[in-house]
Homo-oligomer: A and B are copies of this chain.
């Protein structure tokens, strides 16, 4: 059955590449860059990429086909595929809604209405909400409990940045939420509680696609050779939309904080590790990251390693977005709840884990995935309707089943054990619940 992939920031470089890539996968044999295409992930019950239906939010109105043409000019997409993917991009465009207008409870409800409508129209088993919108400025995360958060929201306050509104909306509806950006997203204690309450999962944050990927691969090398890293300095030069956004020091701060946390947790507090990000417009969709690593060997002799990484961020990120959609959908279906620390392999700042070494993260991911092999999808115990939630949300829980994987009655759930969140379409239909 179809699974929704709801991209917050659907019309950005990554979003466009994901959508074009999904359109090409059936005819184009190559799944290069997709981790879940490795043999290790065969037969572990992941939804097929062909079953993913893309929708999303964006504040941009530039159509996907136009973005794709720009990406082809920049060498991100092969020029000759534009015509092949045009129809799919146009179709996906109709499923992209304007980004959240206004914050607080009304914002959450708007998002949930869009998600429900998406789920309903496309008969989706579940919807993975995945944030690939522009990085937000660094902000002090809301520190209170879920009850306190709900009180604030009910009182008309707006204590959450946009990324966390999306996380709230998704988790509250029992849907998986993934943060591919360094924005706040679900990294708020109250939202962790919400995920547990609603029996759903979240993962994040900040996709590990370049400099940090290499860093966490090499950290194991230095570690296993007992070589002491004394400094690791880096410069990131990038153009593109992401570069333009990160030219704003407040937003770069979020990214740099995420990178710094990764270095510290990987190499220890004592390593001198300055990192810079510069917007260099003529780089287009490309990034150059240069790193200098200084380390000492036997008898204290200092040595140096330098790395120049010239990557195309969207090319690296897009297949991981597809991986994350497949993996979180599956995790949700088998009843896993809370932070998916098993997915740390994908992130610079892995929620729920402080393991950064790439090889260990990969082993952990594979071990977990292999453990899914024989698990039937479960229908999770329905979460009770939490007190203090908005009326609309409660009505949604009670009636539509969107989010909470309710076994409404003995026969519900599209045959035994199917359990995908998202209400059975026919039931929704029968009950006359829709947007209109």
Interface residues of A (CB under 8 A from B): 17, 20-21, 24, 28, 30-35, 37-38, 72-73, 75-79, 81, 213-214, 217-218, 220-221, 224-228, 230-231, 233, 235, 237, 272, 274, 276, 278-283, 288, 290, 292, 294, 296-312, 315-316, 318-319, 345, 358-359, 362
Which of A228, A300, A301, A304 lies at the interface centre, i.e. has the most chain B CB atoms within 10 A of its CB?
A301
Contacts of A276 in B (CB 8 A): 235, 274, 276
Contacts of A278 in B (CB 8 A): 233, 274
**CA A75 – CA B300 in complex, angstroms?**
10
Query: Distance (Å) between the CB of A389 and the closest chain B CB?
Result: 40
Which of A21, A217, A310 lies at the interface centre, i.e. has the most chain B CB atoms within 10 A of its CB?
A217
**CA A278 – CA B272 in complex, angstroms?**
10
Contacts of A358 in B (CB 8 A): 220-221, 224
Contacts of A31 in B (CB 8 A): 226
Contacts of A220 in B (CB 8 A): 217, 358-359, 362
**CA A24 – CA B214 in complex, angstroms?**
34
Contacts of A73 in B (CB 8 A): 79
**CA A352 – CA B31 in complex, angstroms?**
33
Which of A230, A280, A281 lies at the interface centre, i.e. has the most chain B CB atoms within 10 A of its CB?
A280
Contacts of A75 in B (CB 8 A): 75, 301
Decide if A292 touches B290 in the complex (CB within 8 Å).
yes
Complex partner residue of A292 from B231, B288, B292, CB under 8 angstroms = B288
**CA A304 – CA B283 in complex, angstroms?**
10
Task: Name the 9 nearest CB pairs between A and B, nearest first.
Answer: A359-B359, A217-B221, A33-B298, A274-B278, A301-B315, A235-B235, A230-B282, A306-B308, A33-B297
Closest residue of chain B to A280 (Cβ to Cβ) is: B231
Decide if B292 touches A226 in the complex (CB within 8 Å).
no
Contacts of A21 in B (CB 8 A): 298-299
Query: Distance (Å) between the CB of A368 and the closest chain B CB?
Result: 14
**CA A282 – CA B32 in complex, angstroms?**
16
Beyond known contacts A32-B298, A231-B237, A298-B318: 16 more, CB 8 A cutoff: A24-B299, A31-B226, A32-B227, A32-B300, A33-B225, A35-B224, A35-B226, A76-B301, A213-B221, A218-B218, A221-B358, A233-B235, A272-B279, A274-B276, A307-B307, A359-B359
Contacts of A81 in B (CB 8 A): 299
Complex partner residue of A302 from B237, B282, B362, CB under 8 angstroms = B282
Closest residue of chain B to A303 (Cβ to Cβ) is: B311
Decide if A297 touches B272 in the complex (CB within 8 Å).
no
Contacts of A281 in B (CB 8 A): 231, 272
Contacts of A217 in B (CB 8 A): 217-218, 220-221
Complex partner residue of A299 from B30, B214, B304, B310, CB under 8 angstroms = B30
Decide if A299 touches B28 in the complex (CB within 8 Å).
yes
**CA A345 – CA B224 in complex, angstroms?**
10
Contacts of A316 in B (CB 8 A): 297-298, 303
6 residue pairs bridging A and B, Cβ less than 8 Å apart: A224-B359, A233-B280, A274-B278, A280-B292, A288-B292, A303-B310
Complex partner residue of A301 from B224, B301, B312, CB under 8 angstroms = B312
Query: Distance (Å) between the CB of A139 and the closest chain B CB?
Result: 23
Decide if A214 touches B274 in the complex (CB within 8 Å).
no
Decide if A307 touches B306 in the complex (CB within 8 Å).
yes
Which of A78, A235, A290 lies at the interface centre, i.e. has the most chain B CB atoms within 10 A of its CB?
A235
Query: Distance (Å) between the CB of A358 and the closest chain B CB?
Result: 6
Query: Distance (Å) between the CB of A90 and the closest chain B CB?
Result: 19
Contacts of A307 in B (CB 8 A): 305-308
Closest residue of chain B to A284 (Cβ to Cβ) is: B302
**CA A24 – CA B319 in complex, angstroms?**
39
Known: A221-B213, A235-B235, A305-B307. A227 touches B33 (CB 8 A): yes
